[in-house]
Amino acid sequence: MGWVAQRHGTLYWQDYSYDERFEALVAGIVAEFIRRLDPAKERCWIAEKDGENVGAVFLVKKSSSVAKLRWLLVEPSARGLGIGKRLVEECVRLVRYAGSKKIMLWTLVAARRLYQNAGFALVAEEKHQSWSRADLVAETWELNL
């Protein structure tokens, strides 16, 4: 779990100039996930390639009928291999199995095409200011099941 927070902090600093508050946010949410885990509806998947972590995603319970996809990450060296797609598919599979009706997510970055291809629809956009950046646009995506 520490790897997830550390890699988010490092990659988002390198790619988007997010400051240390972003890594702190990820670490806090990961800690809360561990403390409150509902194994029937929540999971973290960490993808490996040749013994190395190359991706991760979290699925958390937002309500009794809505799940939230969080912290999707694929290492730059593993992008284009279908790992992100597979991680999203695992989330959708668990949500269907658990009987939830919807998956939602909030994103600021490049995974938009991946979400579109998985059937998610963009439902909201708003300007966002965080992590030393004043020029962000937050997007909310949903997939109804």
Give the start-to-end residue ranges of the domains of the chain: 2-144
What is the tens place of the pLDDT at every residue in 42-96? 999 999 999 999 999 999 999 889 999 998 999 999 999 999 999 999 999 999 9
**8 Å CB contact between 70 and 58:** yes
pLDDT category of residue 132 using cuts at 50, 70 and 90: low
Which CATH code of 3.40.190.10, 3.40.630.30, 3.40.50.10470, 3.90.1720.10 fits the domain covering 2-144? Answer: 3.40.630.30
What's the CA gap between 95 and 69, in Å, rounded? 10
What is the tens place of the pLDDT at every residue in 110-127? 677 888 888 888 888 787
Q: Report the predicted TM-score, pTM, of the whole model to 2 decimal places.
A: 0.85
Which two three-digit tokens encode residue 38? 């509902």
Question: Amino acid letter at 22?
Answer: F
Give me the DSSP letters along 73-137: EE-GGGTTSSHHHHHHHHHHHHHHHHT-SEEEEEE-STTHHHHHHTT-EEEEEEEEEETTEEEEE
